[in-house]
Amino acid sequence: MKKTVFLFAISSFAISVIAHSFFLIEWANDRYMTGNGDGLAQMIVFKSFLYDQYKNGSFFYSYSFGLGGGIYSQLGYYFTTSFVYIASFAAVFLMQIMHLAGDADTLFWAQAAVFISVVKLGLIILIASYAFHYMVKHKLAAFTGAVLYGTSVIYFRHTVFWEFFSDAMLWLPLLVAGAEKIIREKRTGLFITACSLTLFSNFYFAYINLIFIAIYVIFRWLIRLDEQEETRWKQFRLFAVSCLISFGISAVSFVPAVYGFLNNLRPPYDQAVALYDFTDNILFSSRIILLPSVFLLFLFVFSFYKNKTFRLFAGISVLLVILHYSPLAASVFNGFSAPQNRFEYLLAFTIGGAIAIGIKELKNISRKEILYSSLLVLFIYIAAIWHKDLDLSLVKNWSILVLLFLTIAAFAAAGIKYKKAHLLLHGCLLASAVLVANTYQKYVLSEASDIKSVTKSYLTSNEYNGEEQRELLENMKKDDGGDQYTRIDWMNGVRNNTPLIQHFNGFSAYSSILNQHLLLFYWKDLQIDMERESVSRYATMGDRANLYSLLYGKYYMTEKENAPDVPYGFEKTDESEHYAVYKNKYTLPFIRTAKTVFTEKDLAEAPVLAKEHAMLEGIVLENHQEKEQPPQISNLIGQTKIKTKGARYQNGVLEVTAEKGGIDLIPESGLPNEGDYYVEFYLKSLAKDQFFNLQINDYVTSRKSNQSIYKTGIYDLTIRVPKAEKISIRLPKGKYKLDNLNLYQEDYQTLKKAAAKNAPKADMSWEQNKLSISYENKSGDRYMVLPIPYEKGWELMVNGKKQDVEKANYSFIGFSIEKGDNDIQLVYYPPYFKATLAITIISLAAGIWYSRRRKKLGS
């Protein structure tokens, strides 16, 4: 047994290295195995960020993640509890201790990506070999099937673009083997382990894997493989108890992550989802799944169906092929949201199983079946070529045809029982698997998807993380006297996670899961334009000085070329060849106290400028018995002329007839002495599918198409415009709903008054997830507000008494304080952390007891 395991392990990792040949050669030339989209914007960024967090003992919260947030709940979708990442962290940490690795920055993780993938793929092949061998009882067949599963194109697609996606391929074979252990032996230990691992590691792919296991078990109940199998009812009870224990074991990770997902804000997908879409060619050119020709050859050997295990895997495979062509199924696997083809690794697994069984059954095949199957498969490939009109000059398509004929030849030789022909077939299948994998890496990933642009020179350039930018950021930190809470508005292009890359506190974040209170703050409450509409991002403060001051924004950095109008009250303090730095003259203190209380309800219909003034004058709470009247702001739209330019505007509909046109707003009151305008309006394109840019004077922001799955569904906009004689709203040719125009003037007297107040004298320290404040309330203020986002998980003690944290200023932490001395302790834990930790410990003990009990009963 030890020799067999050793041989499987060596073979698995050898195949993994060969399957990565292309990217290993690319690594030697300083080109890396990570996507130039989310790979550079999220994957290597979050890995670098979490490494620093974990290394410093900060496991739960980070002030630097966007405007601040819990990393368990908001990054649980990515790497927070991923066992692959945790193992990577441990390995890198040990390497640093032994001085074998330098800083674990984004460049490091990009360089390490191919080696992590080699190890992960080796483990996937090894685990799948175990699962297939348990069912097939043929070592080489099990290994070959596992290789075809592990090296499937979807593994490389997922690993390159969204690295954690492919982690699910580790746990799937364990789940199937665990399910078989329950069905055949009534033993639950492996299933509980596998189910706990997948639930703990990633809730999203646990959802997909458990859907598959449910389908698998249903098929198994229809296709009994062993007469000694327990009754379905008893199996159901074993599965139910095992799943319950598994959910309990994973609770400490699973519950906070799911809470973060539910606390996210994403508009419902309101577009029609088609039942079927047959555009993808899974024989030649699919980017998601390519069917091995041997699978089709085996599928048409009808004597194979006498083998129940082949019938099982072939039946599930055919079902999953059908589902691959259904956007509705893709939506179901994506949580009933927008269709996403992320589940096809399930198909790769069942195909691997079918091939493993088919290889074992070759001894029973007839020559007639070889001929019929080969002709049918050739006909299918010819039909695919004719139907899709493929360009066979492409090397990748020619290679698939060559592999097809080689596979048919090896299949025929093995079936006719030539000496050692079985080894020829195995060799052909293994060689074709690694060849397809490397061909896919080169032509589909590196060239067609431009992964070749992810180079060392790019990752150290000003386009991503340049030295010139880092020097200016260091200068800001020195100028600020080392204030660790200062926020800087700087984003490199459209990379919202720039603050994580360059290690500063910023105003932007890009993650699939974000704090819904912050998203509402941007989208609805304050209508802050981010210069780019997106459901999974937030950025900047819309160049609105009041908001920068309220959220401790001291610095603003921008490119000199095409530099925008900086926010009011920011003065240039530093510059380099390509960038300029501005400092806020009116920054408010990090800790603010207030007597005056406004409520969200009373401000609901007020313009956003009135809401800003309310936050500057006091504090805004959701509900409060004593409340002030909202600040009054004059609407200038009644004293403003509206003129069209290259457009027609009537009854709230703007039809732009020129290539670029719109309306001009000309205030009759004349140019203000200082300050800005705030222009509010409703804007929606009436085109079915049109991405467009909105320009207001020099300010440009982009809006998604109505067909985009990433549109916010928010059409009420507020744009800050520096003082000017006219406000020009420009749009590309088309028809738009443009309504509810309002215009306000901001002279910043309220901001200046707030900044002139004496800052509260308070001592503050923040270590990991604990914030301590010592404050003497001499002025008798009733509330304290902090620029820390409100979210579930914060616990508050004031002078030793437990107290509720309130949502203040729409999205931040507020709480009542007492007269005189206030000893304030704020501690953050992931939502339901203490309760779920207790459940995990109890369930782990229960799982060990239950598994041992079932093992004794089974034996």
CATH of the domain at 669: 2.60.120
HEC string for 574-633: EECCCEEEEEECCCCCCCEEECCEEECCCCCCCCHHHHHHHHHHCEEECCCCCCCCCCCC
Which two three-digit tokens encode residue 564? 């925008």
The answer on 488 and 584 residing in a single domain is: yes
Convert the pLDDT of each residue in 607-621 to its tens digit.
999 999 999 999 999
Q: Which residues contact 230 (CB under 8 A, 6 or more apart)?
A: 183, 186, 238
- Is residue 406 one of the residues assigned to a domain? no
Q: Which residues contact 585 (CB under 8 A, 6 or more apart)?
A: 569, 570, 571, 755
The answer on 586 and 471 residing in a single domain is: yes
Residue 456 CB neighbour total at 10 angstroms: 14
Which two three-digit tokens encode residue 3? 């020799």
Which of 726, 751, 776 finishes a domain? Answer: 751
Convert the pLDDT of each residue in 55-84 to its tens digit.
999 999 999 999 999 998 899 999 999 999
Which two three-digit tokens encode residue 77? 């979708």
Q: Position 635: which residue type?
A: N
Check if the beta carbon of residue 282 is closer than 8 Å to that of residue 290.
yes
Rounded Cα distance, 62 and 79, in Å: 15
The answer on 580 and 679 residing in a single domain is: no
Check if the beta carbon of residue 684 is closer than 8 Å to that of residue 533.
no
The answer on 586 and 473 residing in a single domain is: yes
List b or e across 697-733, with b for residues whose CB sees 16 or more CB atoms inside 10 angstroms: bebebebbbbebeebbebbebbbbbbbbeebbbbbbb
- Is residue 603 one of the residues assigned to a domain? no
Residue 335 CB neighbour total at 10 angstroms: 13
- Is residue 401 one of the residues assigned to a domain? no
Q: Which H or E element spans position 517?
A: helix 516-520
Helices (H), ranges, 417-507 = 421-439, 456-459, 467-479, 498-502
pLDDT for the residue numbered 387 = 67
Q: Which residues contact 588 (CB under 8 A, 6 or more apart)?
A: 549, 550, 552, 616, 754, 755
Q: Domain limits at 493?
A: 459-524+531-594
The answer on 643 and 587 residing in a single domain is: no
Read off the DSSP letter of residue 149.
Answer: H
The answer on 680 and 568 residing in a single domain is: no
Q: Position 466: which residue type?
A: G
Rounded Cα distance, 337 and 332, in Å: 7
Residue 641 CB neighbour total at 10 angstroms: 10
Check if the beta carbon of residue 335 is closer than 8 Å to that of residue 207.
yes
Decide if pLDDT at 397 tops 70: no
Is the model more confident about 271 or about 314?
314
Main-chain dihedrals φ then ψ at residue 731, nearest 5 degrees: -140, 155
Decide if pLDDT at 399 tops 60: yes
Pairing of strands 597-599, 619-621: parallel
Pairing of strands 640-645, 806-808: unpaired
SS3 335: coil
- Is residue 24 one of the residues assigned to a domain? no
Read off the DSSP letter of residue 543.
Answer: T
The answer on 585 and 464 residing in a single domain is: yes
**632-646: average pLDDT:** 93
SS3 helix, strand, coil % of the chain, rounded to 5?
Answer: 50, 20, 30
Convert the pLDDT of each residue in 80-116 to its tens digit.
999 999 999 999 999 999 999 989 999 999 999 999 9
The CA–CA distances, whole Å, from 43 to 57, 143, 162 equal: 21, 31, 7
The answer on 677 and 569 residing in a single domain is: no
The answer on 512 and 585 residing in a single domain is: yes
Check if the beta carbon of residue 654 is closer than 8 Å to that of residue 693.
no
Which two three-digit tokens encode residue 233? 């009812």
Distance of CA 659 to the CA centre of its chain: 37
Convert the pLDDT of each residue in 709-724 to its tens digit.
889 999 999 999 999 9
What are the beta bridge partners of residue 654? 649, 736
- Is residue 709 one of the residues assigned to a domain? yes
Confidence of residue 389 (pLDDT cuts 50, 70, 90): low
**772-782: average pLDDT:** 91
Rounded Cα distance, 403 and 87, in Å: 37
Which of 700, 719, 751 finishes a domain? Answer: 751
Closest CA to 833 of 46, 13, 20, 70: 70
The answer on 662 and 540 residing in a single domain is: no
Convert the pLDDT of each residue in 456-486 to its tens digit.
999 999 999 999 999 999 999 998 888 899 9
The answer on 548 and 484 residing in a single domain is: yes
Read off the DSSP letter of residue 757.
Answer: S
Q: Which residues contact 303 (CB under 8 A, 6 or more apart)?
A: 361, 364, 365, 366, 369
C-alpha dihedral, 7 to 13 to 17 to 19, nearest 10°: 90
Check if the beta carbon of residue 13 is closer than 8 Å to that of residue 118.
yes
How many domains in the chain?
A: 2
Confidence of residue 419 (pLDDT cuts 50, 70, 90): low
Q: Which H or E element spans position 771?
A: strand 770-777
Which pairs count as long-range contacts for 382-385, CB under 8 Å and 24+ apart, including other chains? 384/281, 384/283, 384/284, 385/284
| Percentage with pLDDT > 70 across the chain | 98
Q: Position 812: which residue type?
A: F
Rounded Cα distance, 152 and 710, in Å: 29
Average confidence score pLDDT of the chain: 92
Gyration radius from the chain CA atoms: 31
Confidence of residue 523 (pLDDT cuts 50, 70, 90): very high
List b or e across 397-420, with b for residues whose CB sees 16 or more CB atoms inside 10 angstroms: beebeebbebbbebbbbbbeeeee
pLDDT for the residue numbered 371 = 87
Rounded Cα distance, 345 and 16, in Å: 17
- Is residue 336 one of the residues assigned to a domain? no
- Is residue 481 one of the residues assigned to a domain? yes
Convert the pLDDT of each residue in 153-197 to its tens digit.
999 999 999 999 999 999 999 999 999 999 999 999 999 999 999
What's the first-to-final CA gap in the chain, in angstroms? 20
Number of H helices, E strands in the chain: 29, 27
Decide if pLDDT at 541 tops 80: yes
pLDDT for the residue numbered 393 = 43
Check if the beta carbon of residue 238 is closer than 8 Å to that of residue 188.
yes
HEC string for 80-125: CCCHHHHHHHHHHHHHHHCCCCCCCCHHHHHHHHHHHHHHHHHHHH
| Angle at CA of residue 657, ends 651 and 658, nearest 5° | 135
The answer on 644 and 559 residing in a single domain is: no
Closest CA to 529 of 750, 708, 680: 680
Token pair 């080696």: residue: 115
Check if the beta carbon of residue 721 is closer than 8 Å to that of residue 677.
yes
Which two three-digit tokens encode residue 298? 């085996």
Decide if pLDDT at 510 tops 80: yes
Q: Position 456: which residue type?
A: K
pLDDT for the residue numbered 417 = 67
The CA–CA distances, whole Å, from 638 to 669, 685, 738 equal: 11, 25, 17
Q: Which residues contact 266 (CB under 8 A, 6 or more apart)?
A: 337, 535, 536
Confidence of residue 2 (pLDDT cuts 50, 70, 90): confident
Which two three-digit tokens encode residue 125? 């092949």
Closest CA to 157 of 449, 375, 479, 475: 449
Would you put residue 169 in left (φ > 0), alpha (ψ -120 to 50) or beta? Answer: alpha
- Is residue 274 one of the residues assigned to a domain? no
pLDDT for the residue numbered 115 = 97
